[in-house]
Amino acid sequence: MDHVISGVAKFQKEVFPGKKATFKKLANGQNPEVLFITCADSRIDPNLVTQTEPGELFICRNAGNIVPPHSNQTGGMTASIEFAVAALGVSHIVVCGHTDCGAMKGAINPEGLDELPHVKEWLGHCRCASAVVKEKCGEIGLEHLDMLTEENVVQQLQHLRTHPAVAAKLASGQVKLHGWVYHIESGSVLCYNSTSGKFEPMDQVYAESKLTSA
């Protein structure tokens, strides 16, 4: 914890002064372009991976980068999505999974989560992804972890479409959806191509053409 506290002091002394104008502007409001939904895993840093500054990403994090399907029961993710889309007017939504995801390991073996009942229930939102992988492979195990990670991103994109605020903006072309998987060891990012149904490497050509779409 000591290094965290000293980090605050370093931020205030060395970092903040160089970005003072930015923070002065942000002190009175925000106008992010992107809603970035990713895992709570400590190894994922959305601003580091995307090289973005404060105010550019509206970030939502939870175990497994999950988007519960819309329902009449209000939850933190539902409220945050609605606020980002309907109030802040984000024009892009990214669902970003990652390699070696503990939540996906739990989804593969839900019986091992009996001592973590809330985690087990939360990962019920990954059941569709697990079922798809099992249907394709005849079984599901840790050897299918990467496949499940990708499929989970695809299914969470489907869940996003059930949220009224998102559906409305998709219908009018004001929002685009993007599915990513971040590879921790290599730093590479794979992006879902809805035309091919495959995850493809993000490179400069990809970034410029914005292949990922709703």
Domain ranges of the chain: 1-29, 31-209
Q: Is 64 exposed, middle or buried (0-12, 13-18, 19+ CB in 10 A)?
A: buried
The answer on whether 128 is annotated among ligand-binding residues is no
- What confidence score (pLDDT) does residue 208 get? 56
Q: With bands split at pLDDT 50, 70 and 90, how would you rate the model's confidence at 74?
A: confident
Question: In angstroms, rounded to a whole number, what is the distance separating the alpha carbons of residues 48 and 65?
Answer: 17
**Average of per-residue pLDDT values in the chain:** 94
Q: Is 82 exposed, middle or buried (0-12, 13-18, 19+ CB in 10 A)?
A: middle
- Mean pLDDT is lowest, of 41-50, 182-191, 194-203, for 194-203
CA-based angle 148:43:18, to the nearest 5?
A: 135
- What confidence score (pLDDT) does residue 33 get? 97
8 and 15 in contact (C-beta within 8 Å)?
A: no
Domain 31-209 - what CATH class? alpha beta
Q: For the chain, how long is the longest CA-to-CA vector?
A: 57
pLDDT digits (tens, 9 = 90+) for 18-44: 999 999 999 999 999 999 999 999 999
Q: Is 41 exposed, middle or buried (0-12, 13-18, 19+ CB in 10 A)?
A: buried
The answer on whether 101 is annotated among ligand-binding residues is yes
- What confidence score (pLDDT) does residue 212 get? 42
- What confidence score (pLDDT) does residue 36 get? 98
In the structure encoding, which two tokens stand for residue 6, read together? Answer: 């000293």
pTM of the predicted structure, to 2 decimals? 0.92
- What confidence score (pLDDT) does residue 209 get? 58
The answer on whether 98 is annotated among ligand-binding residues is yes
pLDDT digits (tens, 9 = 90+) for 108-154: 999 999 999 999 999 999 999 999 999 999 999 999 999 999 999 99
The answer on whether 41 is annotated among ligand-binding residues is yes
Question: In angstroms, rounded to a whole number, what is the distance separating the alpha carbons of residues 4 and 110?
Answer: 34
